[in-house]
Amino acid sequence: MKVSQKGLYALKALMLLARRYPEGAIKIREIAEGEELPEKFLELILLELNHARVVESVRGSRGGYRLKRPPSEIFLGEIIRTIDGPLAPFEDAESLRRLVVHDEKHSALFQVLLSVRDAAARILDHTSLRDVCNRTGRPPVSVELRRGDWTEGQRE
């Protein structure tokens, strides 16, 4: 999984909106300046997030963008999938599952890649914008892998 520059900009902008959630709508210029993001690129990102119903635009003199839901209800996995697509190292989780079953020669390799994807998804799908803004230094989901965890049912 790789988060693109566009994905990173989206996360930064949404963190600012989460921190300032009680204030309501924030102008694009303020978001861009506050997070040192290119304003024109940010406009495109916010439009995409608006279509995905993560943010909403508010018109008028007090207009701008605000989160559509509280920061505790918007998870990093949703944002990254919206901007960058699947979390799997390549293809999506279902494609990896098929490869595990149908490519016997490389099944163990695809199982490891699927396990990596699943671990990342568990963390990202359980970490909200509020969690990141109130960060304590640890992910809210513990992902502890032991030798053999990445192979189904096989233990040494």
Give the best-scoring range by mean pLDDT among 2-6, 13-17, 108-112: 13-17
Which pLDDT tens digit goes with each residue over 7-46?
999 999 999 999 999 999 999 999 999 999 999 999 999 9
For residue 140, pLDDT beyond 60? no
For residue 149, pLDDT beyond 60? no
Letter for the amino acid at 54? V
Predicted local confidence at residue 42, as pLDDT? 96
For residue 103, pLDDT beyond 50? yes
Please compute the mean of the pLDDT values over residues 55-82 and round it to a whole number. 94
Letter for the amino acid at 118? D
CA angle (141 as vertex; 132, 97 as ends), nearest 5:
115
Domains of the chain by start residue, with CATH: 5-133 (1.10.10.10)
**Is 34 exposed, middle or buried, given 0-12, 13-18 or 19+ CB atoms closer than 10 A?**
middle
> What counts of helices (H) and strands (E) characterise the chain?
7, 2
Please compute the mean of the pLDDT values over residues 131-139 and round it to a whole number. 73
